[in-house]
Structure 1
Amino acid sequence: MGNLQNARSSATQAKKSSLRPVERWGYASGNFAKSIVWNTLELFLIFYLTDLVGLPPRDAGLIVFLSLIWDAVLDPVIGFIADRTTTPIGRYGPFLLIGAPLCAISFSLVFSLPTAMAEHGMFWALGALLLFRSAYTLVDLPHNALIATLSNDSSERARLASLRFVFSSLAVFVLAVSSYFILSPDLIEHQQNRFRQFGLLVSVASAAVLVASWWSVRRFDRTAQGANHSISSQLRSLVFFIRDKDSRAVMLYAFSSALLVSVFGKGLGYFAKYELGNEALVSVGLAAMMIGQIAGSICLGRIASRYENAIALKAAGLMLLPATLVFFLSAPASAATLIGSCAVIGFPVGGIWALVWALAPNVVDKQQATCHTRAEGSYFGILIVIMKAATGLSAFLFGWLLTQIGFEPNVQQSDATLLWLRCVMCVLPSIGGISIFLIMSTYGITHANHSSLLTK
């Protein structure tokens, strides 16, 4: 028995140290490709649909919600298939190699919608988004699940998750700089042409980076082939993920962050256009926020690696309260206050977005030790379903709240509407921060007891 444990320990140590820097950075760069397409839609899609395409805010929010629900339905299917996939190039490679070009084509179509769409415009927009969400599912889940195959060390996963988010933030920084030119005050037709050109450029670059990201870690993918799990073992794993308190904590944390924390970013375009009087200034706020997020993901990632994931996340959740208060009280608004408050908010948000992918593989390790089968694709599928459903619900909620506070596109807003816009942008993320603090207080996987799971 002692020899068996020593052998397992040696294998664990070997796997911990086998990830080369070029592989670590190559894998993390895939988040740049995913983030730039995801955040283009996350930050600007509702604005694009309401102010350029001409849809009512409620319809725009509903379109985003329905498309993300469709996306979320596909994730468990892809996860289930991935858990049973065995090919000469690996478990996740086929999904990424097929999905990357499809994602590029469909993303460019989203920003090819005509302005001032007719009465059936809502259905045209929904159809374009459904195509993109279907393709995005083929690359998002496999790339996320790859992190569980690269290392079984909890601390290393925290560092890798932090590096992934640095690339995600760099993508949004590029998006922020680009948005200065895309959203420069001009005729609607000119703005939409710039969106089309940007969409085409981003789609091609994203596909190329995603393929290169998988290629850099393909040796790990080849050794992580799927297994022929029985239906009963799959069901046992599903029951475990639902009943286990640590699994539930990660799912609730993912739901709260996607539903509530993301609202601040959705409101930036409206805040810049209607309170600051220049929608191009959203690029300034986004750039400042991304700098804060990069700093936050690195600092909080180091705390998570050196101490505990839960400690870092509880700290990030509490930081959101004073950070959003700074933004709310920064009146009268100016470019300077926008830069400062967005950077402050970005710091805790960086840790919140990054560390979910450090916690998820640890839950899968616990599931494997308990159920004696490994279902990482299924769990990542469940987790992404939750996040995308929450993101869709967040978009619908934000669109509905815009209607309730009296927002009308392309006209001057009342002082009351602008005040309520600030409230929406600040109160909901603050509630999310409190929720994350409370949820992480129940999370029990530490670096020490995670190491003991690997020997079972």
Structure 2
Amino acid sequence: MNEKSYRKTRPLLYALGMLGTMIPGRMIDTFLVFFYNIELGIPLAKISLITLFATIWDAVNDPLFGYLSDRTRTKIGRRKPWMIVGMPLFCLSYIMLFSPHKLVQNTTSLIIYFAFFSILTETLRTIIDVNYYALFPELFIEEKSRTHVNALRQAFQIVGMIIGVTLAPIMIQTYGYTITATFMVLIGMFFYAIATFSSHERPEYTESQIPSLKETLKAVGKNKNFWAVGFSNFFFQASSALLLLSIPYFVKYALELSEGNAAFLTAAVFVSAIPAMFLWTWLINKFGSLKTWRVSLIFLGISLVPFLFVHTLIVSMVAGIFTGVVLAGVIINIDLVFSKVIDIDSKVSNLRREGMYFSALQFIVHLSGLAKSLVLLLIAAIFGFVDANNPGTHPDIASRFMVSFFPAVLMLVAFIISFFVDFNDSDVQDLDNETSS
């Protein structure tokens, strides 16, 4: 390739895209179930069944969109066409998802509405997420630049989480769900657009051989490290999703405070994660991403245990700071570990299959919704929790199990699975030599 013909992507502008995926995404993860369950009255068990079906659909469409993205060939690249088309459609569907009370009047219609727009929104979210993430190992191939860009991405990811999770309840109390959702998705897509139009895909990848579906599926299926990283991430994602959606319940029923106070607890978690990035960056440079990833997984599980016992917001926030510090470790490491999996595959096959690999990872991540749905069903069955009008006899204990016990167990499983990841030393050395040359 003629280097002069390739316009490099500015790391900061690409990293801003994390705000685009995180700000609207975290509002969904944290408040969607609470909105339809507590505010609108759909029973928790029915919501769990809908999310279960949506999870299965997400698992099916992830590899499909990743494969189509890998095969796309246009003058502006493989990923950007999907990103450009996906943005406005995601905005519209997202706003509709949080606006049912303006359009439907009875419970049956509300359930159908929730099912349709939650599935549509998550499908469009898949399209914009997979194509954005697939650009990362493609645009930044040198180890030094990749580490730098990843640090920026994860810092913006934490900022996006803070905005999406902490600002949302404050705005909801003042403006309601529809206006808040509109603000979140528009500001998110503003940053996503910056990343999209400032990214410049490598011509040699756009012009490269188109990977066949059969060979790609075979390669992914036989990649043991992919499955180990993927399923460890499966349990981490299930744990973090459950933690996020449980915070409003925990604040309302265990601490007996208004839902708006969830902003303080989530702020404690995510604000503490930002400076913790420096600690984890130092640990990665000293011990490597794989070892520090494993350490962060087990300590994240341990950090959730105190929520079984705390009774005040202040003490909960202190516990949340510990959780945020170790959460930063998992977040900053996972993309580095997974990018190594993709690099080794590319070295062996001489094919660029980032889209398929990231969509396959998203396939597993979305399947983590099965674990989340199972936990919600268990909470409903064990504690008799239905909705705000019928929360069962011990909603306080139920909320503690949601925010602490079950997420901690899931993190323990993630930690155990991480030991099945085994990078061949010669492959890693070869990659280091290639990127440094």
Q: TM-score, normalised by structure 2?
A: 0.89
Contact 2:41 2:388 in 1 (8 A): no
In structure 1, the residue matched to 2:318 is: 340
In structure 2, the residue matched to 1:187 is: none
**Is 1:361–2:314 an aligned residue pair?**
no
Superposed, which structure 2 residues align to 1:87-236 within 5 Å? 87-114=74-101, 117-154=106-143, 156-184=145-173, 194-218=176-200, 220-225=201-206, 227-229=208-210, 231=212, 234-236=213-215
Deviation at 1:414, TM superposition (A): 6.5
What SS is found at the alignment partner of 1:87? coil
Once structures 1 and 2 are overlaid, which stretch shifts more, 49-58 or 440-449?
Answer: 440-449
In structure 2, the residue matched to 1:238 is: 217
Distance of aligned partners of 1:95 and 1:221 in 2 relative to their CA distance in 1, 3 Å threshold: farther
Contact 1:26 1:212 in 2 (8 A): yes
In structure 2, the residue matched to 1:3 is: none
Contact 1:79 1:379 in 2 (8 A): yes
Once structures 1 and 2 are overlaid, which stretch shifts more, 58-67 or 82-91?
Answer: 58-67
Contact 1:29 1:213 in 2 (8 A): yes
Superposed, which structure 2 residues align to 1:295-306 within 5 Å? 295-306=275-286
Q: Deviations over 1:169-201 (max 9, x none)?
A: 1122123442342454xxxxxx7x611001112
Q: Percent identity?
A: 19
Distance of aligned partners of 1:120 and 1:68 in 2 relative to their CA distance in 1, 3 Å threshold: same
**Is 1:247–2:229 an aligned residue pair?**
no
Q: Deviations over 1:341-385 (max 9, x none)?
A: 111112222222333222222212211222232311111110111
Q: Equivalents in 2 of 1:183, 1:338: separation in Å?
A: 22
Distance of aligned partners of 1:248 and 1:395 in 2 relative to their CA distance in 1, 3 Å threshold: closer
What SS is found at the alignment partner of 2:205? coil
Q: Equivalents in 2 of 1:399, 1:229: separation in Å?
A: 42
**Is 1:54–2:21 an aligned residue pair?**
no
Contact 1:271 1:421 in 2 (8 A): yes
Letter in 1 for 2:229: V
Deviation at 1:393, TM superposition (A): 1.4
In structure 2, the residue matched to 1:274 is: 253
Unpaired runs of at least 5, structure 2: none
Deviation at 1:334, TM superposition (A): 1.2
Q: Equivalents in 2 of 1:386, 1:321: separation in Å?
A: 20
In structure 1, the residue matched to 2:378 is: 401
Deviation at 1:444, TM superposition (A): 2.6
Letter in 2 for 1:403: A
What SS is found at the alignment partner of 1:146? helix
Q: TM-score, normalised by structure 1?
A: 0.86
Q: Deviations over 1:74-127 (max 9, x none)?
A: 221121112122211111110111111111111101011117632232111111
In structure 2, the residue matched to 1:386 is: 364
Deviation at 1:228, TM superposition (A): 4.1
Q: Equivalents in 2 of 1:90, 1:276: separation in Å?
A: 51
Distance of aligned partners of 1:226 and 1:52 in 2 relative to their CA distance in 1, 3 Å threshold: farther
In structure 2, the residue matched to 1:314 is: 294
Once structures 1 and 2 are overlaid, which stretch shifts more, 300-309 or 143-152?
Answer: 300-309
Q: Deviations over 1:288-320 (max 9, x none)?
A: 111133234443244224431111111112212
Q: Equivalents in 1 of 2:49, 2:40: separation in Å?
A: 15
Aligned length: 428
Please give the root-mean-square deviation of Cα atoms over the aligned residues, in Å. Answer: 2.7
**Is 1:37–2:24 an aligned residue pair?**
yes
What SS is found at the alignment partner of 1:418? helix
Deviation at 1:406, TM superposition (A): 2.1
**Misfit runs of 4+, over 6 Å:** none
In structure 1, the residue matched to 2:235 is: 256
Distance of aligned partners of 1:50 and 1:174 in 2 relative to their CA distance in 1, 3 Å threshold: same
Contact 1:61 1:399 in 2 (8 A): yes
Distance of aligned partners of 1:135 and 1:246 in 2 relative to their CA distance in 1, 3 Å threshold: same
Q: Equivalents in 2 of 1:180, 1:453: separation in Å?
A: 45
Aligned with residue 63 of structure 2, among 76, 93, 117: 76
Q: Equivalents in 2 of 1:133, 1:270: separation in Å?
A: 23
What SS is found at the alignment partner of 2:283? helix
What SS is found at the alignment partner of 1:373? coil
Q: Equivalents in 1 of 2:234, 2:261: separation in Å?
A: 30
Distance of aligned partners of 1:64 and 1:305 in 2 relative to their CA distance in 1, 3 Å threshold: farther
Q: Equivalents in 2 of 1:182, 1:270: separation in Å?
A: 18
Contact 1:53 1:113 in 2 (8 A): no
Contact 1:261 1:430 in 2 (8 A): no
Letter in 1 for 2:137: A
Q: Equivalents in 1 of 2:315, 2:105: separation in Å?
A: 35
Q: Equivalents in 2 of 1:338, 1:167: separation in Å?
A: 25
Distance of aligned partners of 1:328 and 1:211 in 2 relative to their CA distance in 1, 3 Å threshold: same
Distance of aligned partners of 1:276 and 1:183 in 2 relative to their CA distance in 1, 3 Å threshold: farther
Letter in 2 for 1:72: A
Deviation at 1:29, TM superposition (A): 1.0
Q: Equivalents in 1 of 2:55, 2:390: separation in Å?
A: 31
Distance of aligned partners of 1:263 and 1:180 in 2 relative to their CA distance in 1, 3 Å threshold: closer
Deviation at 1:28, TM superposition (A): 1.2
Q: Equivalents in 1 of 2:25, 2:414: separation in Å?
A: 23
Deviation at 1:202, TM superposition (A): 1.8
Distance of aligned partners of 1:116 and 1:410 in 2 relative to their CA distance in 1, 3 Å threshold: farther
Contact 2:30 2:165 in 1 (8 A): no
Letter in 1 for 2:347: A
Superposed, which structure 2 residues align to 1:396-435 within 5 Å? 396-404=373-381, 405-411=383-389, 416-435=394-413
Distance of aligned partners of 1:363 and 1:321 in 2 relative to their CA distance in 1, 3 Å threshold: closer
Distance of aligned partners of 1:247 and 1:40 in 2 relative to their CA distance in 1, 3 Å threshold: same
Q: Equivalents in 2 of 1:180, 1:452: separation in Å?
A: 49
